[in-house]
Amino acid sequence: MTSVSDDVRAKELQVEISQSGPASAAKKLASEPDPVVSQVLEKMIAPHALQTLEEFPAERREPILSLVSETRRRQWEVNQTFPQDSVGRLMELPAGVFAPETPIVDAIETLREIVKKTFVTYLYVVDPEGKLLGLVVMRELVLADRSQTLADVMLGNPYYLEPEMMLQDAMKEAVQRHFPVYPVCDAGGRLVGLVRGDDLFEQNVYQLIVQAGSMVGVEKEERLGTGWPRALRLRNPWLLVNLLTAFVAGAVVGLFEGTIEKVTALAAFLPVLAGQSGNTGCQALAVTLRGMALGELSEHKAITIVAKEAFLGLLNGAVVGVLAGGAMYFFAQDQSDPMMLAMIVLAAMIGSCVASGVAGALVPIGLKRLGADPATASSIFLTTATDVVSMGLLLGLATLLLL
């Protein structure tokens, strides 16, 4: 039994770690007594609780688990059998489950005891094999005639999620329906759990938040309170990768050193071109990653997405290319052929924006097909591609047409 002070401390910690990742949450809980830790974990949604528990040393997990309620412990054991980022990881064990012939009066009496332990939104009606037949809304239950059974007032064939369904696919369905709770049934239609709509939205928001950091090599485990040694270990490998890819872009410029010496105006426009193409690629990357997170991307649409980004790159490249070409024309009046330089800038801007748009869509799609996290350090690889293509185009065209 927990003390009043443990209850108070548990509530304080729930607020403190509400925005923390598993590693940070476990670090804050490490010095707390097991009863407090168990209380905090019970209040967390299943995937976060499981991930946080796994951060503890093995010798502490069992004592903590022994203090967790049997219902929650059974739930975690079931949830762990399903893949990461699946509906099964978010499930709660079903509550308020009845047979179709249950009288309304009996259901209400039973419900009075159930709501003392858990929040109930719907009653679920199942057959002897556990197959979901329907659900009962509280309004219908309260207004029903006392002589009726649940079968008389239930909504038949309700929509349900499957435990193996990925969260992004479930989220796409939830956005269209906005139910407070979704039943979860296996392939045979048997009720195996429940998923609350707010938990589904919370998990999806979390994935979108950590996506922004992943794009630049910041791991989802890092928070403002992460110690500098751990932050260094998480960030430095990707910075080393970025350094290596930057050498590649630098090598391209080095190949055209003679061209830059003869046409010095080109040097002033290299960062302009790299910046514009880089932004074009980042726009395409952001939209593609957002589509993946919301479940909008499917394999047969990949070519359509790439074609759209190429076309947008062509249009945007033409608009900014005309402006950049005009600037080059006036800037390069002391050169032998300023008009040709302006046309080279225009062509390079269009070509690099098309290439960066295509790369922005292809990088996450390619990583996904390879089984990697599409968001992980994708901007590092995208930046390298856009720098190499943009600088290579500008200097290559200048070498070909002017020298």
Contact between residue 132 and residue 126 where contact means Cβ atoms under 8 Å apart: yes
How confident is the model over 215-239, as a mean pLDDT? Answer: 64
**Structural tokens at position 299:** 């394999």
In 3D space, the residue among 186, 120, 123 whose CA is nearest the CA of residue 152 turns out to be 123
Total domain count for the chain? 3
The answer on 140 and 53 residing in a single domain is: no
Alpha-carbon distances, residue 191 vs 81, 94, 115, 126, 208 (angstroms): 16, 8, 20, 8, 30
Q: Where in the sequence is the domain holding 16, given as residue range(s)? A: 4-81
In 3D space, the residue among 68, 27, 61, 63 whose CA is nearest the CA of residue 44 turns out to be 68
The answer on 240 and 205 residing in a single domain is: no
Q: What's the pLDDT at 213? A: 52
Q: What's the pLDDT at 99? A: 95
Residue 146, in any domain of the structure: yes
Query: The pTM is what?
Result: 0.57
* 98: helix, strand or coil: strand
The angle, 0 to 180 degrees and rounded to 10, between the axes of the packed helices 378-402 and 338-369 is 150
The answer on pLDDT for 219 being more than 60 is no
The answer on pLDDT for 4 being more than 60 is no
Residue 92, in any domain of the structure: no
How confident is the model over 335-340, as a mean pLDDT? Answer: 86
The answer on 341 and 250 residing in a single domain is: yes
Which residues, listed in sequence order, are joined to residue 137 by a DSSP beta bridge?
Answer: 122
Q: How confident is the model at residue 376 (pLDDT cuts 50, 70, 90)?
A: low
> Among 152, 181, 211, where does a domain finish?
211
- Please give the residue that has the higher pLDDT: either 13 or 153: 153
- Please give the residue that has the higher pLDDT: either 100 or 331: 100
The answer on pLDDT for 389 being more than 80 is yes
Residue-wise pLDDT for 55-92, tens only, equals 888 888 888 888 888 878 888 888 888 887 888 888 88
Minimum mean pLDDT range among 140-144, 235-239, 257-261, 363-367: 235-239
Look up the CATH number of the domain holding residue 384: 1.10.357.20
Q: What's the pLDDT at 326? A: 93
The answer on 381 and 258 residing in a single domain is: yes
Q: What's the pLDDT at 211? A: 53
The answer on 382 and 273 residing in a single domain is: yes
The answer on pLDDT for 1 being more than 50 is no
Q: How confident is the model at residue 351 (pLDDT cuts 50, 70, 90)?
A: very high
* 193: helix, strand or coil: strand
Which residues, listed in sequence order, are joined to residue 125 by a DSSP beta bridge?
Answer: 98, 134
> Among 32, 53, 81, where does a domain finish?
81
Q: What's the pLDDT at 317? A: 93
Contact between residue 354 and residue 314 where contact means Cβ atoms under 8 Å apart: yes
Cα gap 304→297, rounded to integer Å: 10
Mean pLDDT over the full length of the chain: 83
Q: Is 252 exposed, middle or buried (0-12, 13-18, 19+ CB in 10 A)?
A: middle
The answer on 168 and 135 residing in a single domain is: yes
The answer on pLDDT for 264 being more than 70 is yes
The answer on pLDDT for 269 being more than 70 is yes
The answer on pLDDT for 6 being more than 50 is yes
Minimum mean pLDDT range among 34-38, 134-138, 335-339: 335-339
Contact between residue 281 and residue 310 where contact means Cβ atoms under 8 Å apart: no
Q: Is 55 exposed, middle or buried (0-12, 13-18, 19+ CB in 10 A)?
A: middle
Q: What's the pLDDT at 68? A: 87
Residue 275, in any domain of the structure: yes
Residue-wise pLDDT for 22-51, tens only, equals 777 888 888 888 888 888 888 877 667 887
Residue-wise pLDDT for 91-102, tens only, equals 888 889 999 999
Residue-wise pLDDT for 176-208, tens only, equals 777 889 999 999 999 999 988 877 776 665 555
The answer on pLDDT for 309 being more than 90 is yes
The answer on 378 and 317 residing in a single domain is: yes
In 3D space, the residue among 231, 239, 211, 236 whose CA is nearest the CA of residue 383 turns out to be 239
Q: What's the pLDDT at 340? A: 92
Q: What's the pLDDT at 204? A: 64
Q: How confident is the model at residue 14 (pLDDT cuts 50, 70, 90)?
A: confident
The answer on 205 and 242 residing in a single domain is: no
